[in-house]
Amino acid sequence: MKLLHFADAHIDMANYGRHDAESGLPLRVLDFLKSLDTIVDTAIREKVDLVIFAGDAYKDRAPSPTFQREWGRRIIRLSKAGIPTLLLIGNHDLSPALGRAHAIQEFDTLEVPNVRVLSRPCFLNADELGLPVQIIAIPWISRSGLLASQDMSAADPSAIFANIESRITDLVHGWLNEADPNIPIILTAHASVQGATYGSERTVMLGADLVLPGSLVKDPRLDYV
């Protein structure tokens, strides 16, 4: 099967510079949108079986309607092409306040065909996907959400993240044990990996990262991470 995977679009990262006279959009945003168009065009032209977006459509959880329109136009093209598309929630997409909508909530609320928003860790088997693949998805986990459900001190972020990482590791191992070993398994996550080397885009990250153990992503049962 053919898979197209991308992440960290941040299409509205335009703090300065000129605007396009015709569209009114910042020229930097047009650059991002051209890249996004290339991704969507490739998915449709190559007739991929699955698209995975691993989080962070915008720079924060409150994008302007104009940027939402531009992002929506591209995702709807995938939907109309009949390409199953998974959208993970990233840290920039998620509100720190419990119960608030995230930045790509509308695709879930409107039940857009062929588009599935993943806001919680989950395991999708081949039957659920309608494809010969299994997906372990780990969207961004907010500290506020964990604090709301656990008796933990907000003053100790290291303990909070250690708790999250331990729980996720246990979840992933459990799903790997549950998975069919004869069908490929993909792990997609909006997280950092222990021991990874970062590029210049690291500067757009917000706050402390969720860090997955290197041993977890190197599990031989995983076919693609």
pLDDT exceeds cutoff 80 at 120: yes
> What is the sign, positive or negative, of the torsion defined by CA atoms of 91, 95, 99, 101?
negative
Contacts of 58 (CB under 8 A, 6+ apart): 9, 10, 11, 12, 67, 71, 92, 93, 103
Question: Which pLDDT tens digit goes with each residue over 8-42?
Answer: 888 887 766 788 778 878 788 888 899 999 999 99
Residue found under tokens 């930045």: 103
pLDDT of residue 54: 93
Q: What percent of the chain has pLDDT over 90?
A: 44
Question: Which pLDDT tens digit goes with each residue over 39-94?
Answer: 999 999 999 999 999 988 888 888 889 889 999 999 999 999 999 999 999 888 87
CB atoms within 10 A of CB 202: 11
Amino acid at 189: A
pLDDT exceeds cutoff 70 at 219: yes
- Rounded CA-CA distance 200/185 in Å is 30
Question: Which pTM was predicted?
Answer: 0.85
| Domain range 3-217, CATH class | alpha beta
Q: How far is CA 9 from the centre of its chain?
A: 10
pLDDT exceeds cutoff 90 at 142: no
Q: What is the DSSP letter of 16?
A: S
> What is the sign, positive or negative, of the torsion defined by CA atoms of 146, 150, 156, 160?
negative
pLDDT of residue 204: 45
Coil, strand or helix at 5: strand
pLDDT exceeds cutoff 70 at 96: no
- Rounded CA-CA distance 157/160 in Å is 5
- Rounded CA-CA distance 16/28 in Å is 9
Sequence ranges of the domains in the chain: 3-217
Average pLDDT value for residue range 170-189? 94
**Which has more confidence, 51 or 165?**
51
pLDDT of residue 101: 77
pLDDT of residue 148: 54
Give yes or no for a contact between 103 and 57, defined as CB atoms under 8 angstroms apart. Answer: yes
Give yes or no for a contact between 115 and 75, defined as CB atoms under 8 angstroms apart. Answer: yes
Closest CA to 119 of 92, 140, 97: 140
Q: Label residue 113 by pLDDT band (50, 70, 90).
A: very high
pLDDT of residue 162: 74
Residue found under tokens 């959009």: 25
pLDDT exceeds cutoff 90 at 125: yes
DSSP helix, strand, coil percent of the chain (3-state; round to 5): 35, 15, 50
pLDDT exceeds cutoff 90 at 167: no
pLDDT of residue 195: 58
